[in-house]
Amino acid sequence: MSDSKEPIDFYFDFSSPYGYFAAAKIEALAAKHGRGVTWHPILLGAVFKLNGQQPLANIPLKGSYAKHDMLRSARWFGLPFKVPSRFPVNTVAPCRAFYWVHDQDAALAKQFAAALYHAYFAEDRDISSAEITANVAAKLGIDKPALSAALNDAAVKERTRSEVDAAIERGVFGSPYMVIDGEPFWGADRLDQMERWLEKGRW
Amino acid sequence: MSDSKEPIDFYFDFSSPYGYFAAAKIEALAAKHGRGVTWHPILLGAVFKLNGQQPLANIPLKGSYAKHDMLRSARWFGLPFKVPSRFPVNTVAPCRAFYWVHDQDAALAKQFAAALYHAYFAEDRDISSAEITANVAAKLGIDKPALSAALNDAAVKERTRSEVDAAIERGVFGSPYMVIDGEPFWGADRLDQMERWLEKGRW
């Protein structure tokens, strides 16, 4: 970045279709306005527990609309999409894997996150599996045995937990959730408001 | 309308800020594409009961974001807005009043709905009150004593109940909720997808 603007904080859960849509768009949006993006995968399960919320798909009428809206929104954003056979899934493995990769190579971690999202939402591969997560990593040249070991490493677990706690502490309650200079935006359908904010600041 | 396109069905609760935003935009959007709009006020409380949902404002982290997002979205849509002192409120009185007016004059009922939304979200008047609802009506030249009596009329009650039941039957679970030729859209943030749908049909 050519100036001193703060990066956008981007919170997401790997099981969130709207997180997938935002992940595909946010770097270009940020770059256009001279910003970087800090990616923060989180575990929505922990947040929902705190709030008494349920995943969209569990709410009777909302569930069938949700599937429909995911498919239409994927077309809206021009992204490949299949409704996963298992949805939502536990994303502890991809989340830990992300932070482990991130602490070695932050740029590679973003590629890895994009590849995990693609595996889950475009190829219907169950990324809750440590094996599948490690295979996605291996394709990017990441050391598979080292990554597989890291998934059960106490320090990696603690690193992931502290990221999730920090997100909750900050008020993150959904995915995607973006913060620009302290201003929060929830949902892939706030990318338009974010764009105006990046252009003009508070309007 | 110059052709035979079906009107857009527009479901909303008078206590829903995003319903207010959509109500302010939907007629122009529809007219641009040769459509009319059928307005259907509903009682979200009945839907939430069925689904085990809670109003946004009752969910801890979501509540404070919700207020923030309402204010920002009002600026986004260019509409006057105050967070109401009481929110959400029971909207049985405005809902019954709407259907009573509608059955005499459908165009006037839309003006009345817009005026009720303005009273609640721009002037912070508590439209759950039968008296305030009737005052908003009176300003449009609607017979106030007749409207006040209608609020407790068995036929008007039944008419309202059957509208709400029909909406639930159709799968309406939130506000605003729009249906174009069978295609459902939930939220003021789907107006952009609706516009593309109106232009191109399924994309």
> Which chain A residues have a beta carbon less than 8 Å from that of B73?
193
* Interface contact B62-A51, CB threshold 8 A: yes
The model's confidence at residue A56, banded by pLDDT at 50, 70 and 90, is: low
Query: Which of A61, A180, A186 to substitute to test the interface with B, most B CBs within 10 Å?
Result: A61
Cβ contact A18:A73 at 8 Å: yes
Judge whether residue B109 has pLDDT over 80.
yes
Cβ contact B188:B77 at 8 Å: yes
DSSP codes of every residue in A68-136:
HHHHHHHHHHT------SS-S---HHHHHHHHHHHTT-HHHHHHHHHHHHHHHHTS---TTSHHHHHHH
Residues belonging to chain A: 203
Judge whether residue A8 has pLDDT over 60.
yes
What phi and psi values does residue A37 have, to the nearest 5 degrees?
Answer: -135, 130
Distance from CA of A79 to the nearest CA of B (A): 13
What phi and psi values does residue B11 have, to the nearest 5 degrees?
Answer: -100, 140
Distance from CA of B47 to the nearest CA of A (A): 9
* Interface contact A52-B59, CB threshold 8 A: yes
Nearest to A173 among B53, B65, B190 (CB): B65
Distance from CA of B3 to the nearest CA of A (A): 27
Nearest to A62 among B173, B190, B203 (CB): B173
Distance from CA of A170 to the nearest CA of B (A): 10
pLDDT in tens, A59-69: 666 778 989 99
pLDDT in tens, A80-89: 999 999 998 9
3-state secondary structure of A140: coil
* Interface contact B171-A61, CB threshold 8 A: yes
Query: Dihedral angle at the C-alpha atoms of B15, B21, B27, B31, nearest 10 degrees?
Result: -150
Q: What is the mean pLDDT of chain B?
A: 93
Mean pLDDT of A29-39: 97
Q: Does B195 touch chain A (CB under 8 A)?
A: no
Q: Is the pTM of this model over 0.90?
A: yes
pLDDT in tens, B60-96: 667 789 899 999 999 999 999 999 999 989 999 999 9
Per the model's pLDDT, the better-predicted residue between A199 and A54 turns out to be: A199
Per the model's pLDDT, the better-predicted residue between A80 and A203 turns out to be: A80
pLDDT more than 90, % of chain B: 84
Closest chain B residue to the Cα of A74, Cα to Cα: B203
The model's confidence at residue B1, banded by pLDDT at 50, 70 and 90, is: very low
In chain B, helix, strand, coil percent, each to 5? 60, 10, 35
d(CA A26, CA A22) in angstroms, rounded, equals: 6
Judge whether residue B2 has pLDDT over 60.
no
Q: Exposure pattern of A31-56 as b/e (b: 16+ CB <10 Å)?
A: eeeebebebbbbbbbbbbeebebebb
Q: What is the mean pLDDT of chain A?
A: 93
Mean pLDDT of A114-126: 98
Q: Does B165 touch chain A (CB under 8 A)?
A: no
Query: Which of B18, B61, B178, B196 to substitute to test the interface with A, most A CBs within 10 Å?
Result: B61
Mean pLDDT of B132-142: 98
The distance from CA B43 to its chain's CA centroid, rounded to whole angstroms, is 9
* Interface contact A186-B76, CB threshold 8 A: no
End-to-end CA distance of chain A: 24
d(CA A122, CA A115) in angstroms, rounded, equals: 10
pLDDT in tens, B28-56: 999 999 999 999 999 998 877 777 777 66
CA distances from B83 to A98, B48, B175, B194 (A): 40, 22, 17, 27
d(CA B65, CA B42) in angstroms, rounded, equals: 25
Distance from CA of A108 to the nearest CA of B (A): 32
Domains of chain A by start residue, with CATH: 8-200 (3.40.30.10)
The model's confidence at residue A1, banded by pLDDT at 50, 70 and 90, is: very low
Residue A49, pLDDT score: 78
pLDDT in tens, A134-169: 999 999 999 999 999 999 999 999 999 999 999 999
